[in-house]
């Protein structure tokens, strides 16, 4: 049986992450082409294009297209790929507007094609185990979920101040781009629709008025005493402890990192960027059946991790992002031990997001290979729910926390 063939549109961090599956499992996936204006050759393939439109116009012999382009290009590229008859692995967000998201999903369903959205967390053993516990019913019904997405101080500065997702007019709101993962988990865990949403949040720190007196527009040009005292110095982030962000770049050599600091947008002063997305946001949700969910998106944290407390009628689940702890009311507390618990765990692998990157790719490959129209439709439509919650949250935030009813 031949491997599924895929073309990658966008050879950035996410494109490389998904394409790496082909290197580990060449019998399951073959990358037959890559389109990227600068970094296409960082992904091994027999054909390269500088423009994704030229790639699709060439109609390469492939089963799937991986759309890992900047957010603003998702709609156009996804629709073009679907019109050409390709199944999609589409990095989240699906698109930047609710109307475009709905159009992509509707087009795929009408054509009988798969859109596997990059909600990789549901494909990890950690989050899948939570789903299994809830579905077992052993803790009763879920009453409430308190969940925090800790972005990490280094990540908020890199991605959402200096980087690709710093301005919602160019990319997408942070609550959609960063937290559609979390909304997807809530909808998946509960198996019900969200009815209403309210949200508050703002940009607190990375503003021009907070810029230190005498600071330069670029960290490399800043007076040394100011640059050395600054937590957010690009010289520190990329040259001194860049291992936290190195996975974002194809070339992590010292020379490449120096070019990033001296020449790229990542070398800018965090107080002199054109960023406009919040650095903190809270979202409250009510689901069908009455379960409530609170999400805290916090930019100023030491670690990039998700923590969760799920309160049920017969117990609670507490997760620190690595370990799960369960309390069954009326019995002694017990750590979850996968060797004892009757809940199946997904396979582990070396990809990021706890193995979720590769597990998502493998799941998409299996669906395409199966040709199961009903299963592909279910997978395709599932991603939309998370986006509707995110759009509602942003609408509420921009309107002073007004409650938004979901259609």
Domain definitions of the chain by residue range = 4-113, 122-204+276-345+377-405, 208-267
Q: At residue 366, does pLDDT exceed 50? A: yes
398/253 Cα distance (integer angstroms): 41
Distance of CA 329 to CAs 133, 308, 309, 317, 334, Å? 15, 18, 15, 11, 11
Average pLDDT over residues 1-6: 95
pLDDT score, position 246: 80
Query: Max CA-CA distance within the chain?
Result: 65
Average pLDDT over residues 148-172: 95
Find the range with the poorest average confidence among 47-61, 64-78, 230-244, 257-271. Answer: 230-244
376/380 Cα distance (integer angstroms): 6
Q: At residue 344, does pLDDT exceed 80? A: no
Residue 93: is the preceding peptide bond cis (ω within 30°)? yes
If you ran DSSP here, which 8-state letter would residue 74 be given?
Answer: H
3/26 Cα distance (integer angstroms): 7
189/182 Cα distance (integer angstroms): 10
Alpha carbon 36 to chain centroid distance? 20
Q: What would the two tokens of residue 198 be?
A: 């309210």
Name the CA radius of gyration of the chain, rounded: 22
316/145 Cα distance (integer angstroms): 10
Q: Name the CATH topology of 122-204+276-345+377-405.
A: Dihydrodipicolinate Reductase; domain 2 (3.30.360)
**Phi, psi dihedrals of residue 103, rounded to the nearest 5°:** -65, -40
What is 4-113's CATH number, 3.30.390.30, 2.40.160.40, 1.10.620.20, 3.40.50.720? 3.40.50.720
Residue with tokens 């040394």: 224
Tens digit of pLDDT for each residue in 271-324? Answer: 999 999 999 999 999 999 999 999 999 999 999 999 999 999 999 999 988 888
Distance of CA 136 to CAs 130, 139, 319, 322, 341, Å? 10, 8, 18, 21, 11
pLDDT score, position 348: 67
CA atoms within 13 A on the CB side of 29: 29
Mean pLDDT score of the chain, rounded to an integer?
Answer: 93
Find the range with the poorest average confidence among 84-88, 111-115, 116-120, 352-356. Answer: 352-356
Whats the size of the chain, residue-wise? 407
Q: How far apart are the first and last CA of the chain?
A: 44
């Amino acid at each position: 049986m031949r491997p599924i063939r895929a073309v990658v549109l966008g050879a950035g961090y996410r494109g490389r992450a998904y394409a790496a599956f082909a290197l580990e499992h060449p019998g399951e996936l073959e990358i037959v082409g890559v389109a990227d204006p600068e970094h296409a050759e960082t992904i091994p393939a027999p054909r390269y294009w500088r423009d994704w439109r030229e790639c699709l116009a060439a109609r390469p012999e492939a089963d799937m297209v991986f759309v890992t382009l900047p957010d603003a290009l998702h709609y156009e590229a996804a629709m073009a790929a679907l019109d050409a008859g390709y199944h999609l692995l589409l990095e989240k967000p699906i698109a930047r507007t609710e109307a475009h998201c709905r159009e992509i999903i509707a087009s795929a369903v009408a054509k009988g094609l798969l859109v596997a959205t990059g909600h990789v967390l549901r494909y990890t053993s950690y989050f899948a185990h939570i789903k299994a516990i809830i579905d077992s019913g052993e803790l009763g019904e879920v009453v409430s979920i308190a969940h925090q997405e800790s972005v990490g101080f280094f990540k908020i500065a890199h991605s959402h101040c200096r980087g690709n997702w710093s301005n919602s007019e160019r990319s997408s709101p942070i609550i959609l781009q960063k937290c559609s993962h979390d909304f997807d988990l809530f909808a998946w865990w509960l198996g019900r629709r969200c009815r209403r949403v309210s949200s508050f949040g703002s940009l607190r720190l990375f503003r021009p008025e907070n810029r230190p007196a005498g600071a330069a527009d670029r960290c490399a040009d800043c007076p040394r005493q100011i640059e050395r005292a600054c937590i957010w110095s690009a010289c520190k982030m990329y040259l001194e402890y860049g291992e936290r962000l190195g996975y974002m770049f194809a070339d992590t050599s010292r020379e490449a990192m120096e070019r990033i600091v001296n020449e790229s947008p990542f070398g800018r002063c965090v107080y002199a960027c054109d960023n406009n997305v919040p650095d903190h946001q809270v979202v409250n949700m009510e689901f069908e059946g009455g379960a409530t969910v609170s999400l805290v998106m916090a930019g100023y944290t030491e670690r990039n991790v998700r923590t969760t407390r799920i309160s049920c009628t017969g117990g609670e689940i507490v997760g620190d992002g690595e370990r799960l702890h369960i309390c069954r009311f009326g019995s002694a507390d017990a750590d979850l031990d996968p060797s004892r618990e009757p809940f199946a765990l997904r396979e582990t692998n070396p990809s990021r997001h706890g193995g979720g990157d590769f597990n998502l790719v493998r799941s998409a490959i299996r669906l395409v290979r199966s040709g199961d129209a009903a299963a592909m439709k279910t997978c395709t439509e599932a991603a939309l729910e998370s986006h509707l919650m995110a759009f509602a949250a942003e609408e509420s935030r921009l309107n002073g926390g007004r409650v938004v009813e979901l259609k």
